[in-house]
Amino acid sequence: MKIELSNNKVFFKKNGSKKEIHPFWLRERVNEERFFDKGTQQRLFDPTELKENIEIKDLNLSDEFLEVSFNDGVKTRLTIQSIIKEFSNINDIKFIKKIKWDSSLNDFNSYNFSENIFEEKIMYEALINFYKFGFVIFKKVPTKNNFIVKFANSIGSIRRTNFGEFFNVKSKPNPNDLAYTSLALAPHTDNPYRNPVPCIQILHCIENEVNGGNSTLVDGYTVTEKLKKDYPDYYKILTNVKVRYQFIDQDVFLEDWAEMIQLDENQNFKQVRFSPRLDFVPLMDKDRLDLYYLARNKVSELFNSDKFRIEFKLMPGDLLLMDNHRLLHGRTSYDANEGNRFLQGCYIDYDSTEGKLKHLKRKFNI
């Protein structure tokens, strides 16, 4: 990446291509005190009110700075580094490459909790690993006074739902969700019926005296990439058909339509929604439905296969932070008569983890 000047125009060169930087783009970035508040990094003017046809009058380039004078009398001095930063993805969360994993993963990223962890470098490392693997475990997290709420709000902001600010996972009479029983839960993603679907689930173990009740995780990214490679027709239909996901109880009716495997603008994995108790495929031609059901069976078989699942026991003080758009989670059954099993859960969204990660990156100049 390089900046060049030619005929009162600014160009940037990247990967063999050379493009002009629009004069107005530079004018929007003027950083004199009367135009720019250094503390908030916000403009003190509204660029949509600049009606003049902005042109560059004079330019000067040194190793460190680009100085520009515009035809409306305004001058600015921008660091080359700040311009280059805007053309790189260094601050984009996508710079963290996802690592595919299956049942052979044996190093579960875990970090010991300490009171100041949210402002320490170790939290940056934990969040990087969260984006690489889709989950991270914190150990020795205090188990008193609904600490999960404090934890979530120390990363960002808790995402409240109709289940409340947080929810208690233990078997209870007349449950409105199978989570609140002692039955095994097959791998699934949470709340596919919400718009938007909660990005991250936090589960905090308070008590676990039973023999079963192990937690399970599956990497939806690994599995759907496998499907793409081995069963392209199945992958295609699951990334194309929008399915209705629904949750109802006495107080609420939640519904959203989405592809089971959702792709981003570059046709790469974005999100998986898998909860076979809550999905309703639209009425399509019989042949197409035949294919859809085969595809759903295959992906379900892969999600439930030992080959892709990790299983571990959350102990009191363990706190699991997992990506609900990428991972599937579940648990093995347990006998509620053996003792107490009590987990607390809540949701946060990506703005929390991304905001904290970028803050720590800036703080530690990483």
Q: How far is the CB of 179 from Fe ion (least distance, A)?
A: 6
Q: Print burial letters for 222-231: b (CB count within 10 Å at least 16), e (below 16).
A: bbbbbbbeeb
Least spacing, CB of residue 213 vs Fe ion, in Å: 13
Q: How far apart are CA 352 and CA 201, in angstroms?
A: 12
CB of residue 89 to Fe ion, shortest distance in Å: 32
Stretch that binds Fe ion, among 149-157, 187-195, 242-250, 303-311 (CB under 5 A): 187-195
Of residues 136, 209, 201, the one with CA closest to residue 170: 209
Nearer to Fe ion, 130 or 292 (CB): 130
The region of 81-89, 182-190, 266-274, 293-301 touching Fe ion under the rule CB under 5 A is 182-190
CB of 212 to Fe ion, least distance (A): 16
Q: Which stretch binds Fe ion (CB under 5 A): 98-106, 111-119, 183-191, 214-222?
A: 183-191
Name the nearest CA neighbour of 82 among 41, 34, 45: 41
- Strand segments, DSSP code E, in 80-210 are 110-112, 135-139, 158-159, 167-169, 185-188, 200-208
Options 189-197, 222-230, 310-318, 353-361: segment touching Fe ion (CB under 5 A): 189-197
Give the separation between CA 363 and CA 341, rounded to whole angstroms: 39
Residue closer to Fe ion (CB basis): 127 or 179: 179
Smallest gap from residue 180 Cβ to Fe ion (A): 11
Peptide bond between residue 23 and the one before it cis (omega within 30 degrees of 0): no
Cβ closest to Fe ion, residue 190 vs residue 323: 190
Q: Which is nearer to Fe ion, 26 or 328 (CB)?
A: 328
Q: Which is nearer to Fe ion, 190 or 349 (CB)?
A: 190
Q: Are 298 and 259 in contact (CB under 8 A)?
A: no
Site residue total, Fe ion (CB under 5 A): 1
Per-residue contact flags (x/-) with Fe ion for residues 133 to 172, judged by CB under 5 A: ----------------------------------------
Least separation in angstroms between residue 143's CB and Fe ion is 20
Please give the Cα distance from 327 to 341 (Å, whole number): 23
Subset of residues 7 to 26 that bind Fe ion, contact rule: CB under 5 A:
none
H-helix or E-strand spanning residue 347: strand 341-348
Q: With beta carbons less than 8 A apart as the criterion, state whether 295 and 231 touch.
A: yes
Q: Which residue type sits at 223?
A: V
Helix (H, G, I), strand (E, B) or coil at 353: helix
Q: Are 330 and 203 in contact (CB under 8 A)?
A: no
Residue 10 vs 328, nearer CB to Fe ion: 328
* 190 touches Fe ion by CB under 5 A: yes
Site for Fe ion, rule CB under 5 A: 190
